[in-house]
Structure 1
Amino acid sequence: MSDPQFRSLINLRQLEVLRAVMRYRTTIGAAEELGMSQPAVSNAIKLTESKLGIALFDRVSNRLVPTADAQLLMADAEPLFLVHEAVQRKAWDLRTGRAGVLRIHTTSELSQYLIPPVLALFMADHPDVQVTIEAMRMEPLLEGVESGSADLGIAMKPPVRPSLTREVLVEAEMMCISPKGDVLAGLPVLTPFDLRGRRVVGPPPVSPLGAMIAQAFERSSHHYHPDIEARFANIVSPLVARGLGIGFVDEMTAHQSTEPAFDVHRFRPRIAIPVCGLFVRDKPRARLAQAFITHALQYMQSRIARSDDKEDTA
């Protein structure tokens, strides 16, 4: 096996030529399949026969009939072609982004209400990709993207990091939700004034989204002090559905069900929540990560309905 002459008796290309000639029984047919000239195919067969020291074909009435030795050789070679074809398919999949690994870091509520529908769209185009999704708080999410543990991050209003670039997928709104049958159910828009004396469920004021709500309350000369603090919107919504108060959630969470157990209201003053894809700055984006972000952008821009009363800042 270590003899160089033994290793160089025949290579994969010569086996491809041999296989094609055996299939078509002519050098012309083999040449058309392989994209070679007819003389090149003839020379390849002659060279292989010379190296092996055996005849591979008998010439019968202008046809090339494989010898028993050629048939034995190809019987052992056929598994090589199956492996080669599989490698070729995998290489093509990698080139076109249909295979590989995609690692996503996101927040809890987005992992529940955004990632699944976008992933369904993504997997329809990339069925063989292995996907890893981690739901976490903002700080470890950012650190994961920075370190390369994740190919991309998806978060609502992520803080600015010099090492990261943010791509805004959509600008959502902060919404209010109330239990079914609540006295506020008929109001399409709620303000801090409407929430006076009501139990409020929402993110803590020290959190990024909670701080935005607190600023909106201050603009209306009110104070935001949630009675039940819940950092993630997917925790707020079931609490409100249980009748535990009026909740603050993002627009995606508010509209995640066609028949929710709560009523949805716009909140004024308007609070814009940018939903962003996060990548490492000055580093080429992974092809699969960009494909996922493209699907997320298309999904969110079609999903988030813009109101007709943006001028309303009451």
Structure 2
Amino acid sequence: MNLRQLEAFRAVMQGQTVTRAAEMLHISQPAATRLILSLEENIGFALFERSKGRLQPTPEALVLYEEVQRSLLGVERIARTAREIGNLTRGSLQIACVPALGLSFMPRAINAFLQTHEQAQVSLVVQSSREVVDAIVGERCDVGFIAQPNAYASPWGEKLITSYLLCALPASHRLAGKALIVPEDLQGEAFISFPQTVASRQHIDAIFAAHGVERQLNVETQLSMAMCKFVEQGAGVALVDVISAQEYQGQGIAFRRFEPAIEMDFALLLPPQKKISKFHESFVQHIRAFAADETRIHW
């Protein structure tokens, strides 16, 4: 048996005549007849009884049709899947990213991608930059997004978003009326910090030390959104990235420029030894365009 014979058999069962079957398959009537005859020869029993110019399926044909129908539907699903893979509407995507992007920015970017890739299967895991790098190196994810600078080796990547840190103040804070905050303004202030394991923490501490400014370091968190909530509750001030500042929905907080400028960029990473698929490349192109549109707000 071959696939074309089974398609002809199904077409005759559905069309009830060889003529209709031939039209369904876009072949000639003699060609359709030959396919049915060769199928009957291959399986060793008759599928149709010819009576008064019409074909009546035998009981054996009815049983066979159920299996053929299931099998051909499976083949059609495979063909449809192949088409979807070819036109980049189907594929799987494992994404790992830092919390600053994973809480709002990345879900919105993925949702926009799904509007034109409805059959895509996407998994998003929010991790620290170090964990994202480990996942990329271990090929446990397809695309990774980390915060820069980082204090450890990472595979090649590209800068996706150029950002910097803003000073987050309670809306009623004495400094909220200033457009620009400098280290000396924060002398003696309660300060919400990143943990020591975050590379930006060392950079921030070095800047305040260079300016001879002492702060009260009582609270630490690795999440910029959590920092913003602490600030809004009056627990202190903080330096947070522009992306998180744009995403924060609280009303009791003021974001102000901070100098000297501290960069907090975000990079896109791909597995160094793994060839990227066309589907993954389409997502990379999408995220580049999405990031460019989303980060045009300037403070």
Shift of 1:256: 1.0
Q: Partner of 2:50 in structure 1?
A: 58
Shift of 1:233: 1.2
Q: Partner of 1:106 in structure 2?
A: 97
Instruction: Determine helix, strand or coil for the equivalent of 1:281.
Output: coil
Q: Partner of 2:285 in structure 1?
A: 294
Shift of 1:117: 1.5
Q: TM-score, normalised by structure 1?
A: 0.79
Shift of 1:130: 3.8
Q: Partner of 2:138 in structure 1?
A: 147
Q: Partner of 2:163 in structure 1?
A: 172
* Kept in 1: contact 2:94–2:123 (CA 8 A): yes
Matched, 1:277 2:268: yes
Shift of 1:183: 1.9
Q: Partner of 1:136 in structure 2?
A: 127
Q: Pick closer, same or farther for the CA change 1:72–1:204 going to 2, 3 Å.
A: closer
Q: Pick closer, same or farther for the CA change 1:72–1:113 going to 2, 3 Å.
A: closer
Tell me the amino acid that sits aligned with residue 132 of structure 1. S
Q: Partner of 1:82 in structure 2?
A: 73
Q: Pick closer, same or farther for the CA change 1:188–1:59 going to 2, 3 Å.
A: farther
Provide the rounded CA distance (Å) in 1 between the counterparts of 2:138 and 2:116. Answer: 28
1:114-263 maps to which residues of 2 (within 5 A)?
114-157=105-148, 159=150, 164-204=155-195, 207-214=198-205, 216-217=207-208, 221-223=211-213, 227=217, 228-263=219-254
Shift of 1:240: 0.5
Residues 253-278 of structure 1: per-residue CA shift (max 9 Å, x gap): 11113453311112222222221111
* Kept in 2: contact 1:204–1:226 (CA 8 A): no
Tell me the amino acid that sits aligned with residue 92 of structure 1. R
Instruction: Determine helix, strand or coil for the equivalent of 1:235.
Output: helix
Shift of 1:293: 3.3
Residues 34-65 of structure 1: per-residue CA shift (max 9 Å, x gap): 3545553332122123333425363756xx53
Calculate the aligned-residue CA RMSD, in Å.
3.1
Shift of 1:32: 4.9
Structure 1 unpaired stretches of 5+: 1-9, 309-314
Q: Partner of 1:307 in structure 2?
A: 298
Q: Pick closer, same or farther for the CA change 1:190–1:66 going to 2, 3 Å.
A: farther
Instruction: Determine helix, strand or coil for the equivalent of 1:280.
Output: coil
Provide the rounded CA distance (Å) in 1 between the counterparts of 2:222 and 2:45. Answer: 77
Matched, 1:68 2:58: yes
Tell me the amino acid that sits aligned with residue 281 of structure 1. P
Q: Pick closer, same or farther for the CA change 1:162–1:45 going to 2, 3 Å.
A: farther
Tell me the amino acid that sits aligned with residue 68 of structure 1. T
Instruction: Determine helix, strand or coil for the equivalent of 2:222.
Output: coil
Q: Pick closer, same or farther for the CA change 1:223–1:182 going to 2, 3 Å.
A: closer
Structure 2 unpaired stretches of 5+: none
Shift of 1:177: 1.0
Shift of 1:251: 0.9
Q: Pick closer, same or farther for the CA change 1:201–1:160 going to 2, 3 Å.
A: closer
Q: Partner of 1:20 in structure 2?
A: 11
Q: Pick closer, same or farther for the CA change 1:193–1:122 going to 2, 3 Å.
A: same
Provide the rounded CA distance (Å) in 2 between the counterparts of 1:225 and 1:290. Answer: 45
Matched, 1:34 2:22: no
* Kept in 2: contact 1:105–1:153 (CA 8 A): yes
Q: TM-score, normalised by structure 2?
A: 0.82
* Kept in 1: contact 2:129–2:145 (CA 8 A): no
Residues 273-299 of structure 1: per-residue CA shift (max 9 Å, x gap): 221111122431244544443343333
Q: How many residue pairs end up in the alignment?
A: 296
Tell me the amino acid that sits aligned with residue 67 of structure 1. P
More displaced, 109-118 or 22-31?
22-31
Provide the rounded CA distance (Å) in 2 between the counterparts of 1:280 and 1:195. Answer: 42
* Kept in 1: contact 2:189–2:215 (CA 8 A): no
Residues 167-221 of structure 1: per-residue CA shift (max 9 Å, x gap): 22211221111112222222232222322232222225663222333455467x3
* Kept in 2: contact 1:151–1:286 (CA 8 A): no
